[in-house]
Structure 1
Amino acid sequence: MFGSRNSRGESVTCIACGESIPRSDAREYDKHGDRWDRRDKAFEHLCKACFADLCQQPRDGLETTLDAAGAGETDRATFLERFRELSEDDANRD
């Protein structure tokens, strides 16, 4: 239910930095984006430091940008183009 008992004490390799770390100190990464469907799946791993650097994106202003880009009100291609432009504008301001 809470993962394999065989994985306790196991070492894994961080896919970002290559460091070998205890499985208990790692974060699972599912390149298919569906980490909850665990059947017949092998996960890759990130150390906690790489996970924090790579996976935690700022969300300040996200809802405002989604709204300004027309989320839910326009077709996908138009929305993505507007979102990209608005995101680039925000990045250039920093």
Structure 2
Amino acid sequence: MWPWSSRNRTTTVTCLACGDEVTRSMAREYDKYGNRWDREDKEFEYLCKSCDRELCHHPRNELEDLLVDLEAGERDQTAFLARYLAAVEERYGPLEEPPEERREER
């Protein structure tokens, strides 16, 4: 039924987070656009299962567009983060501070 599945078991892919090479069956597809089900004309990147577990799996609505708008990767990290925080507060309201007891744990 799915002719490509038998090839994927032995195909080696590189984890985009840690750089380890793993078999395709031991990896998870990563789609930076957040829609891995729309497969037409798309090449996926991969994460090993360990790195995938460490990621936040909440929806990323508007994140890619925001990063493009803020020219992510084109300025130093401090300047980018300042612009990112300002843009998030402008679009979605003030960021919440963690409760005092949680802040002390850090």
- Tell me whether the two structures share a fold, i.e. TM-score over 0.5: yes
What does 1:2-13 correspond to in 2, within 5 Å? 4-5=4-5, 6-13=7-14
- Distance change >3 Å, CA 54–CA 77, structure 1 → 2: closer
Provide the C-alpha distance between the structure 2 equivalents of 1:36 and 1:91, rounded to a whole number of angstroms. Answer: 38
Q: Confirm whether residue 90 of structure 1 aligns to residue 98 of structure 2.
A: yes
- 1:14-63 per-residue CA deviation (whole Å, 9 max, x = no partner) reads 00000000000000000111111011111000000000112346xxxxxx
Equivalent in the alignment of 2:20: 19
Equivalent in the alignment of 2:93: 81
Taking structure 1 as the reference length, what is the TM-score of the superposition?
Answer: 0.61
- Distance change >3 Å, CA 92–CA 22, structure 1 → 2: farther
Equivalent in the alignment of 1:67: none
Provide the C-alpha distance between the structure 2 equivalents of 1:11 and 1:91, rounded to a whole number of angstroms. Answer: 44
% of aligned pairs identical?
A: 43
- Distance change >3 Å, CA 92–CA 79, structure 1 → 2: farther
Q: Following superposition, which runs of at least 4 residues in structure 1 exceed 6 angstroms of deviation?
A: none
RMSD of equivalent CA atoms: 2.8
Taking structure 2 as the reference length, what is the TM-score of the superposition?
Answer: 0.55
